[in-house]
Chains A and B, each alone.
Chain A
Amino acid sequence: DADVTQTPRNRITKTGKRIMLECSQTKGHDRMYWYRQDPGLGLRLIYYSFDVKDINKGEISDGYSVSRQAQAKFSLSLESAIPNQTALYFCATSQTLWYGYTFGSGTRLTVV
């Protein structure tokens, strides 16, 4: 099994719908992150959490919310999806800087 699992892998949704992307990890890491990837823009940080009670906004948090249900689970929600939220979304975990992040395989989200 993968260390960091994202579900779903692909999702098409309509404008205005609420959608949740889920991330779970078996690494035992305290820190979890949500990034979105857009061609030519690289990865941009949406939200991050250093432990269950500590959740912080990243550089592009507008239109998104998160929930850290447990050390191993970190969900990203789009309250009312819009087409410019079409992107590849990655969850990542870390424990120390020595080893950087461990990434999930990503969720490709299309908002029509």
Chain B
Amino acid sequence: GEDVEQSLFLSVREGDSSVINCTYTDSSSTYLYWYKQEPGAGLQLLTYIFSNMDMKQDQRLTVLLNKKDKHLSLRIADTQTGDSAIYFCAAALGTTDSWGKLQFGAGTQVVVTP
């Protein structure tokens, strides 16, 4: 089955860029997502990228996809204290019997320091 891996912790200074990395194993994954979880809340979809794209930009967020290496990254420009949260990478499984299911990574805790 699909495995999604990401580092567990990232510390960044306010105003710097953050880069969160993720790797996945299923080459048939069709959509890849980044979710944000703030304390006491559910997961909120930040952005997604389709597997035939290399890059997607949305305001301060840039997603890069290296399909050959099965590597996904999320860059947050000008990181703010409000960006402190857990960020989850997720992959939509591509096989017929698993269509519509997402496999999540363990989450990266991002701490923004003043």
Contact = CB atoms under 8 A, between A and B. Distances in A.
B100 A50 contact: yes
Interface residues of B, number: 24
A17 B100 CA distance: 33
Nearest to A40: B106
B24 interface: no
A48 B33 contact: no
Secondary structure dominating the interface of B: strand
Q: Which of B41, B42, B90, B101 has the most CB of A within 10 A?
A: B42
A40 B104 contact: no
Interface stretch (A62-70, A78-86, A90-98): A90-98
Contacts of A100: 31, 33, 35, 45, 48, 90, 102
B43 A40 contact: no
Given A43-B104, A45-B101, A103 B48 contact: no
A42 B43 contact: no
A105 interface: yes
B10 interface: no
Q: Interface range on chain A: under 10, 10 to 19, 20 to 34, or 35 or more? A: 20 to 34
Contact of A97 (B31, B105, B106): B31
B38 to A, nearest CB: 11
B81 interface: no
Contact of A90 (B8, B43, B48): B43
Interface of A: 4, 31, 33, 35, 40-45, 48, 50, 59, 90, 92, 94, 97-106
